[in-house]
Amino acid sequence: MSTVVFPVVKPTSTFASIFARTINVNYFHVYFPYFRLIFGVAVDLLGNFFKVKVVSSSFYNTTSTENKPKVIHRVFLLPSGIIKSMVTKRQKQILDFIRKFIAKNDYSPTLEEIKDHFGLSSVATIHEHLQKLKESGHLNRPENQPRSINIVGHETMVKIPLLGTIAAGQPIEAIEVPETITIPTGKFGEYSNYYALRVEGNSMIDDGIYDGDVVVIRKQPTAENGQTVVAIVNDNEATLKKIYREKNGFRLQPANPTLFPIYTKELEIRGIVVRIIRNLERQTEGEKAADRKLQRRVDFSWDFNGAKTKPYTHGLHTYPAMFIPQVARRLLLTYSKKGDTVCDIFCGSGTALVESRLLGRNSYGIDLNPLAIFLAKTKIKPINPKILWREYLKLLSRVKEIKNNEIKKPKFKNLEFWFKDKTITELAKIKKAIKEVKNKDVQNFLLVAFSEIVRKASNTKNGEFKLVRMKSDDLEKYNPNVLEIFKKRVEMSIKGMEEYHKDVDRNTLAKAIYGDSSKDNGIKENSIDCIVTSPPYGDSRTTVAYGQFSRLSAQWIDIFDDPDSAPGVDNELLGGRASKTLVHSLSSEYLNGALEQIAKKDEARAKDVLSFYIGLNACLKQAYRILKPGKHFCLVIGNRLVKQVRIPTDFIIAELGEKIGFTCEDIFVRNIPGKRMPIKTSPTNIVGELEDTMTKESVVVLRKTRRASYIS
Ligand SMILES: C[S@@+](CC[C@H](N)C(=O)[O-])C[C@H]1O[C@@H](n2cnc3c(N)ncnc32)[C@H](O)[C@@H]1O
């Protein structure tokens, strides 16, 4: 037994005894006049005898009452079991993460995944922690085997197929794509001989098998009298019963006195029950279902208050209601793994796509705002920063050479209303120089920086997402130095690209698609491993006007063939066109409740609201189509207020989603310290009529779980 000695300190006896109590240690205050060596041997022997370890020992001199110096030795002895369980805070966090990861995925995380979860830059630190945990007996980690971390005390689990549902006298209702369940390996032999079935009905309650339980079946064609079997009778009817051989055939006996046995001459045995997995949750869910009230929990750990939200290419361009990257990152880490293909169906400026590439996930993004797609495409594309610096410096000299008579001013309605003459000239020079850059990726990168400064240099009010002109007093004084603003912006952007270029996982693919997420955008059915998205909170007219925000930039950088079509974007987005009637077929009690209250105050507004949810429902259906079965769909959404009626969009999504075939697994609420949302929005664009927007948002976690009703 080794001796652990803390640095020698001179604690006061009060401190020593408090410390000892705190960590639950046996504390000895020993007066020991002899030298350390003998004492050390004595303590070690003591340790062996009592199965303890010395966790602290210290010598010091003191003065006795007789004024003679004495050597005092203080010893802290701890039962060896407790020593083993002493881990640092970080090691505990790592153990917890591994435990949860294994529980969720049935395999252990890689060093890379642990590193990513804790936001560390190197795996070496994780390796060190794991080594310490291994040495202290908390985990096993066979060398050179991927995903081989085992938490000590946890059995190794294996997956077996959950083939479907079995009910008395009914055919097995197979799950379209079989799910799996996890069982401990130790208890079973060759686990490919096992499968599981979910029980429906009460025919076996006296044997402790209840509705909703899962039974593990060992495949075998024969059974002994009294064993519980899966038997196929009458050609294709599967039933779970106790089997008894009778004179002329078999008796299948239910374990429920209210039911009669089945007598049959022939049957086929498909296996015997070897284990029952009780589904306590199912019972409580059943109770909840009777009085269906969805629940949200508050999770402050998702606030990310004070976190740096513009690392990498996230800071290239502002966009309304952007994800903070930390939220996208954590959702991706929780619900997808490296190598997966993920999708953001309302990708906006591409935050989730950038995070996906950094985390080793392939990704698709869809958005119906063309400027957003341009931004996303540029943000996900790594460019060598050396090339950027070189081209940028060349561009600066070129801008200075361009004469006023060489420039071409853009042509769109109200150009002079939104820009001063001098600003137009300066912007046009920069644009001309950018357009001369040969490398298309570099050109786009510079155009994104340019797009960002177009709004800054315009006559629009600072900090507004909607197009609101400055007050005339402010406007008179406003004289932006366009080139300086541009330089600052490009230099910041190149720094962001430097980080991104270094850390992006080049084995990943990312694609930003201009399209309407309520329609099929060519993404294959059952092909996506995880969807992480943040839908608009409501229609663009009365909440965030993405199109309006993007208009001037889009017009300057030639996003549209006809720049005057730019104002049409908002009408195309979710809820862009009000519904003509309040009659609908959406299956959501929460939505109906909200619509009813709003309609009492303002029927036209209720129709606006309805149109948004009709569109959203179509998007949920498309999401369901592209998602693989069993995979997660995470939506970050705010519950907006219309006419003083709070619309619980999170619950509405849960209800609509469940109707489509998702299961709602979680709804939690986070504070929005950093979300780029106006504090107040104007619901009607009428000055002075304001609604408060959210300081909180909900994260709804859905899972595609629908069962099909055929036998495989
Ligand atoms: C909350 S924003 C997403 C912001 C994004 N998470 C980011 O970090 O930039 C919602 C997006 O939904 C888009 N949108 C609205 N209706 C759409 C539709 N029918 N199909 C695709 N995108 C749509 C808007 O253009 C907007 O970019």
495: exposed, middle or buried (Cβ count in 10 Å: 0-12, 13-18, 19+): middle
Q: Which of the two residues, 657 and 116, has the higher pLDDT score?
A: 657
Helix 370-380 / helix 440-457 crossing angle, nearest 10 deg: 130
Tell me the residue length of the chain: 712
* Residue to mutate, 367, 377, 677, ligand 1, most ligand atoms under 8 Å from C-beta: 367
Residue 76 has pLDDT above 80, yes or no: no
Q: Are residues 652 and 681 in the same domain?
A: yes
466: exposed, middle or buried (Cβ count in 10 Å: 0-12, 13-18, 19+): middle
DSSP one-letter string for 216-280: EEE--S---TT-EEEEEETTTEEEEEEEEEETTEEEEE-SSTTS--EEES--EEEEEEEEEE--H
Does ligand 1 lie within 6 Å of residue 200's CB atom? Answer: no
Q: Which of the two residues, 337 and 53, has the higher pLDDT score?
A: 337
Q: Fill in the DSSP letter of residue 455.
A: H
Q: Are residues 598 and 494 in the same domain?
A: no
Q: Are residues 371 and 339 in the same domain?
A: yes
Residue 392 maps to a domain: yes
Q: Are 513 and 363 in contact (CB under 8 A)?
A: no
Q: Are residues 104 and 51 in the same domain?
A: no
Rounded to an integer, the average pLDDT of 129-137 is: 84
Q: Which of the two residues, 649 and 77, has the higher pLDDT score?
A: 649
Q: Is 267 left (phi over 0), alpha (psi -120 to 50) or beta?
A: beta
Q: Pick the catalytic residue from 53, 56, 108, 241.
A: 241
Q: How much is the pLDDT for 61? A: 47
Q: Are residues 513 and 549 in the same domain?
A: yes
Residue 597 has pLDDT above 90, yes or no: yes
pLDDT, tens digit, 9 for 90 and up, residues 402-461? 999 999 999 999 999 999 999 999 999 999 999 999 999 999 999 999 999 999 999 998
Does ligand 1 lie within 6 Å of residue 418's CB atom? Answer: no
Domain count, the chain: 5
Residue 638 has pLDDT above 80, yes or no: yes
Residue 1 maps to a domain: no
DSSP one-letter string for 597-648: HHHHH-HHHHHHHHHHHHHHHHHHHHHHHHEEEEEEEEEEE---EETTEE--
Of ligand 1's listed atoms, the one at least distance from the Cα of 321 is 1
pTM of full prediction above 0.75 = no
Does ligand 1 lie within 6 Å of residue 349's CB atom? Answer: yes
C-alpha of residue 348 to centroid of ligand 1, in Å: 5
Q: Are residues 270 and 161 in the same domain?
A: yes
Residue 586 maps to a domain: yes
C-alpha of residue 94 to centroid of ligand 1, in Å: 35
620 — pLDDT class (breaks 50, 70, 90): very high
Q: Fill in the DSSP letter of residue 543.
A: S
Residue 534 has pLDDT above 80, yes or no: yes
Does ligand 1 lie within 6 Å of residue 368's CB atom? Answer: yes
Q: Are residues 40 and 122 in the same domain?
A: no
Residue 703 has pLDDT above 70, yes or no: yes
Q: Are residues 189 and 138 in the same domain?
A: no
**Residue closest by Cα to atom 22 of ligand 1:** 367
Rounded to an integer, the average pLDDT of 114-126 is: 86
- Tell me the chain's radius of gyration from C-alpha atoms: 33
109 — pLDDT class (breaks 50, 70, 90): confident
3 — pLDDT class (breaks 50, 70, 90): very low
User: Alpha helix (H) ranges present in 119-179?
Assistant: 123-135
Rounded to an integer, the average pLDDT of 321-332 is: 95
User: DSSP 3-state assignment of 155?
Assistant: coil
Q: Are residues 651 and 522 in the same domain?
A: yes
Does ligand 1 lie within 6 Å of residue 313's CB atom? Answer: no
State CA 30 to chain mean position distance. 56
Angle, vertex CA 61, rays to CA 56 and CA 64, nearest 5: 120
Tokens of 135: 């040495």
541 — pLDDT class (breaks 50, 70, 90): confident
Largest CA distance in the chain: 108
C-alpha of residue 347 to centroid of ligand 1, in Å: 6
**Residue closest by Cα to atom 25 of ligand 1:** 369
Average pLDDT over all residues of the chain: 81
Residue 613 maps to a domain: yes
Rounded to an integer, the average pLDDT of 564-581 is: 91
Residue 611 maps to a domain: yes
122 — pLDDT class (breaks 50, 70, 90): confident
Residue 155 has pLDDT above 80, yes or no: no
Boundary of a domain, candidates 65, 85, 105: 85
* Inter-CA distances, 295 with 130, 532, 625, 654, Å: 37, 21, 26, 10
Does ligand 1 lie within 6 Å of residue 537's CB atom? Answer: no
Residue 449 maps to a domain: yes
Report the run of H or E that residue 52 belongs to, with start and end.
Answer: strand 52-63
Q: Are residues 520 and 608 in the same domain?
A: yes
Q: Pick the catalytic residue from 56, 57, 108, 203.
A: 203
Whole domain around residue 76: which residue ranges?
Answer: 13-85
Q: Are strands 362-367 and 510-514 parallel, antiparallel or unpaired?
A: parallel
C-alpha of residue 618 to centroid of ligand 1, in Å: 15
Q: What is the CATH number of the domain that holds 542?
A: 3.40.50.150
Q: Are residues 371 and 394 in the same domain?
A: no
Q: Are residues 557 and 623 in the same domain?
A: yes
**Residue closest by Cα to atom 5 of ligand 1:** 348
Q: How much is the pLDDT for 86? A: 66
Of ligand 1's listed atoms, the one at least distance from the Cα of 575 is 16
Least confident of 174-178, 506-510, 543-547: 174-178
Q: What is the CATH number of the domain that holds 124?
A: 1.10.10.10
Does ligand 1 lie within 6 Å of residue 346's CB atom? Answer: yes
C-alpha of residue 536 to centroid of ligand 1, in Å: 6
Boundary of a domain, candidates 256, 284, 312: 284
C-alpha of residue 250 to centroid of ligand 1, in Å: 63
Q: What is the CATH number of the domain that holds 266?
A: 2.10.109.10
Q: How much is the pLDDT for 630? A: 94
Of ligand 1's listed atoms, the one at least distance from the Cα of 576 is 16
Least confident of 55-69, 519-533, 600-614: 55-69
Question: Is residue 203 among the annotated active site residues?
Answer: yes
Using CA of residue 609, residue 615, residue 617, residue 623, what is the dihedral sign? negative
Residue 51 has pLDDT above 50, yes or no: no
pLDDT, tens digit, 9 for 90 and up, residues 258-300? 567 788 888 889 899 887 776 644 433 333 333 446 788 878 7
Residue 629 has pLDDT above 90, yes or no: yes
Q: Are 94 and 130 in contact (CB under 8 A)?
A: yes
- Rounded distance between C-alpha atoms, residue 296 and residue 238, angstroms: 40
**Nearest by Cα to 361 from 587, 113, 538, 136:** 113
Boundary of a domain, candidates 85, 114, 129: 85
Residue 3 maps to a domain: no
Q: Are 412 and 557 in contact (CB under 8 A)?
A: no
Residue 466 maps to a domain: no
